[in-house]
Structure formats: C-alpha cells, structure tokens
Amino acid sequence: MIDILSRVGISSPLFSFSSLGQSIDEISGRFKRWEIVAELEHCPQIIIQKKDLLFTSGMEITIHAPFSDLNIASLDKRAREFSVERIDEAIVAAYEMGGIMVTMHPGFFSPLGFLIPEKIDTLSSDSITRLGARAEDLGVTLALENMPPWQGSIGDDVEDLIKRVEGTGVKICFDVGHAHIGSGVENFIERSDLIANVHIHENDGKVDLHLPLGSGQMDVIDIMKRLIKKGYKGPFIIESRNFEEGVQGLDYLTEHFSD
C-alpha cells in the first residue's frame, strides 16, 4: 500500500499566485508529486525557464493546461485559436520537462453556442484532435478531463470523452469529484484502460466544492482501490483549495494506505 502514497500529488490554482520557487519550497516538504496549474506565475514560459529548479526539487511534475478565460470550443475563431495556442504552450513546456503529462479541459458552450450545439461539439473535438496530434509529435501524454455538469459544460460523462478522444491518442483525466455530481464514477472505473490521470477531492453531491478528502459524501478510498484493482497505474492528484487542505487530504490517505 505504500506504493499508492508515492503516487499521490497535489494541485491548486492558488499556488499560481506565488513564485515557482516559493511553491516548490512549500509543496516539496510534504508531497512527491505536483500538478502545476500553468497560469500566472506558473505559466508555461516560466515552467521552461525554471525547469532545472523543478528537476532538482525531487518531485514528479505534471502540468494542468491553462483554462482561465480560455475556450477551445469558442465560436469566435480568434478566441478559439488563442485558447489552443495557450494549451499548446503547456504541451511544449511538458516536452521541455522531458515529456511529462498535460491535463486539459474540453471547452464549454458560450451563450450563442447553445443555439448550435452540434457546431460546438465539432469545434471542441477538432481542437482536441489538433492538440492531441501536437502532443503525440512531442512525446507528451495529453489527458482530457471530465467536467462538472454545470450549464454549458462539455464532457461531463465518460462516453462523451471517449467520443472526443477516439483515434487522437488523447487519454482521459478522471476527476472523481466532478463525476460524483455528474454521471457517476462507475462508468469511469470500467474504462480505467483509458485513464492517465486521476483528480481526487470531495463535495456534497450537488456542488463542485473541492472539499478536503474525508469531509464529503464520497468514498474516495474505495474508488482508488477499485481503480488500482482494474490496473490503473497513474497518479492520484489531490485538487485542493489551498496547501493546508491538500496536506489534510494526504494525511487522510496515509491513515488508510500506510499499513
């Protein structure tokens, strides 16, 4: 069971407001893995500039592609192309880091997009295909994340994700919390062969709260055990609201997996 703990990491958008060096100092004291949200002070260009510092931290690094103000399914071509370019920058940073994994979002419906849903589906899938080809060319694993079922979301169930990644080389990032308030976790577990990354956090079954592990209505321990039994060998990333709650989650997992 100790091996499971070595696969546990942390990710939080809040870290992006601090310098990369400050974040490394804080995170590496408790975690062996870090999924960097590539925004603000941790944008792809800074990741490349500071890659030696990241290498010497001793942590396993993966990247969450930028998502703030971006939409790869936007009807506006300029906005869509900019979004694709920003995610492409994260893929390049992953290549510079030795071919590490990148997780990305599938886009969403804009207000006008609701009037032509088939077009939005096509735009999302086309962008994913382009980014998948880019990642494959650079030897980077790209994972598409399932989203919570809020109005306008794309890809909130495993079948929709499979449809978008089929034939692209793109894998799936299984967000357990999102699935808990969406289509449920069972179908994702059954398709563990397509999963390259897992995000773990908790909620009340209604809202995407990103609560600390052990404080919601989910049996995260059981989900992790079942994924492992199905052959999943990738990371488990605690998506927390801050460092302290991430550590709380790590302590919770240690309590259950240390014997």
CA distances from residue 62 to 10, 65, 86 in whole angstroms, order as listed: 10, 10, 16
Q: Each residue of 92-130: pLDDT tens digit? A: 999 999 999 999 999 999 999 999 999 999 999 999 999
pLDDT higher than 70, residue 25: yes
The number of angstroms, rounded, from the C-alpha of 243 to the middle of its chain's C-alpha atoms is 17
The rounded distance, in Å, linking the Cα atoms of 41 and 66 is 12
The rounded distance, in Å, linking the Cα atoms of 192 and 94 is 23
Q: What is the pLDDT of residue 3?
A: 83
Which domains does the chain carry? 8-189 (3.20.20.150)
List all residues 6 or more positions away from 162 whose beta carbon is below 8 Å from its beta carbon.
172, 191, 194
Average the pLDDT over 231-244 and give the result: 97
Matching residue, tokens 């809040």: 14
The pTM of this model reads: 0.96
Helix (H) or strand (E) holding 171: strand 171-175
pLDDT higher than 80, residue 259: no
Q: What is the pLDDT of residue 191?
A: 94
Tokens of 115: 């009037």
Q: What is the pLDDT of residue 27?
A: 98
pLDDT higher than 60, residue 239: yes
Task: Tell me the sheet residues that pair with 239.
Answer: 11
Q: What is the pLDDT of residue 247?
A: 98
Average pLDDT, the chain: 96
pLDDT higher than 70, residue 2: no
End-to-end CA distance of the chain: 7
Over pLDDT 70: what percentage of the chain?
Answer: 99
pLDDT higher than 90, residue 183: no
pLDDT higher than 90, residue 216: no
- Please say whether the beta carbons of 14 and 40 come within 8 A: no
Mark out the alpha helices in 97-219 (DSSP H runs).
117-138, 158-165, 176-181, 186-190
pLDDT higher than 60, residue 1: no
Helix 77-96 vs helix 117-138: crossing angle, to nearest 10: 20
- Please say whether the beta carbons of 38 and 70 come within 8 A: no
Q: What is the pLDDT of residue 130?
A: 98
Average the pLDDT over 52-68 and give the result: 97
Tokens of 163: 């449809």
pLDDT band, very low/low/confident/very high, at 151 (cuts 50, 70, 90): confident
Average the pLDDT over 15-36 and give the result: 98
